[in-house]
């Protein structure tokens, strides 16, 4: 029984691969930036566990609440959401609820051992996740609310890492603002694969309202603007000269990767491959350039 439950939990974790590179990694980086490169290792481990498990709790809850939408999307040509363990029938609803409660309990319990600020932030993230996925509020379906809610959740992960250490400094603010803007402007690319289903189900994302091409152009514009802003302001934040050079190279790579989506956005499998095998790794490198920027050369 335990082995079966563990296997199911690992399957669910694997289906939500975005949690580790996006939320956990960002919290770690902000903690390191807050500590100016030297965070307490035990506290860093606690942040990893707290943010990761709370992140899984929120995403597993979304899987349960969105199962009918995921199945509908499969009928409309996007098989990816319905391939997750719960929607595909590999994990029962009772087990999913157990996973949600377990993940939330572990995450919040560890957050409590860090400090009250991290506990409050991660509790807020869970509440935001509930509002995002639960009818009748379901912020996911409100006009242009999906991306701001996701961006706020992303910001909470950043702040959790920072407040687990010495709090906010200029480097933390820069990375948090950068990732918040990227979540608003670049993340809508992921919604392109669901555009048919979103229109039918009434989910008003940027691709569904304005069209996939607009979403791709918005992503390119946001990345270009981020690069220009970084060149202009990096020295005022205290970054070294290596930071903007690396940053621009990675931004250029991201734009080069995204441009083909203007013509290939209809292929949901190709889109998923581009997002998780190219855009996400490049984004992690972009964040790493901020950490490199605080090193005194």
pLDDT exceeds 80 at position 166: yes
The stretch 82-90 carries a mean pLDDT of 81
> Residue 68 has what pLDDT?
76
> Residue 74 has what pLDDT?
67
> Residue 88 has what pLDDT?
81
Higher pLDDT, 69 or 260: 260
- Residue 150 binned pLDDT confidence (cut-offs 50, 70, 90): very high
Element containing residue 67 per DSSP (H, E): helix 67-75
Domains of the chain: 2-293 (1.10.357.140)
> Residue 105 has what pLDDT?
97
Residues composing the chain = 297
> Residue 73 has what pLDDT?
66
Q: Prior bond to 136 cis, omega within 30?
A: yes
Element containing residue 52 per DSSP (H, E): helix 41-65
291 and 247 Cβ atoms separated by less than 8 Å: no
Mean pLDDT of the chain: 89
């Amino acid at each position: 029984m335990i082995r079966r439950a563990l296997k199911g939990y690992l399957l669910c974790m694997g289906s939500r691969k975005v949690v580790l590179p996006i939320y956990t990694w960002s919290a770690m980086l902000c903690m390191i930036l807050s500590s100016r490169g030297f965070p307490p290792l035990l506290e860093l481990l606690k942040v990893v566990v707290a943010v990761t498990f709370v992140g899984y709790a929120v995403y597993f809850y979304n899987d349960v609440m969105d199962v009918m939408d995921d199945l509908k999307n499969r009928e409309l040509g996007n098989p990816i959401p319905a391939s997750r363990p719960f929607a595909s029938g590999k994990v029962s609803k009772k087990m999913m609820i157990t996973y949600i409660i377990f993940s939330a309990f572990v995450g919040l319990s560890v957050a409590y051992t860090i400090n009250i600020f991290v506990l409050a932030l991660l509790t807020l993230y869970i509440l935001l996740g509930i509002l995002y996925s639960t009818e009748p509020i379901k912020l996911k379906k409100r006009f242009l609310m999906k991306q701001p809610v996701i961006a706020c959740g992303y910001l909470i992960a950043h702040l959790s890492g920072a407040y687990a250490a010495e709090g906010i400094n200029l480097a933390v603010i820069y990375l948090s603002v950068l990732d918040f803007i990227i979540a608003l402007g670049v993340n809508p690319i992921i919604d392109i694969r669901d555009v048919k289903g979103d229109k039918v189900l009434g989910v008003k994302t940027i691709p569904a309202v304005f069209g996939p091409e607009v979403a791709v152009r918005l992503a390119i514009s946001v990345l270009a603007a981020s690069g220009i802003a970084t060149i202009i302001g990096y020295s005022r934040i205290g970054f070294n000269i290596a930071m903007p050079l690396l940053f621009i190279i990675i931004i250029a790579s991201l734009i080069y990767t995204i441009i083909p989506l203007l013509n290939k956005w209809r292929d949901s499998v190709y889109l998923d491959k581009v997002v998780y095998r190219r855009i996400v790794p490049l984004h992690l490198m972009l964040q790493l350039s901020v950490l490199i920027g605080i090193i005194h050369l």
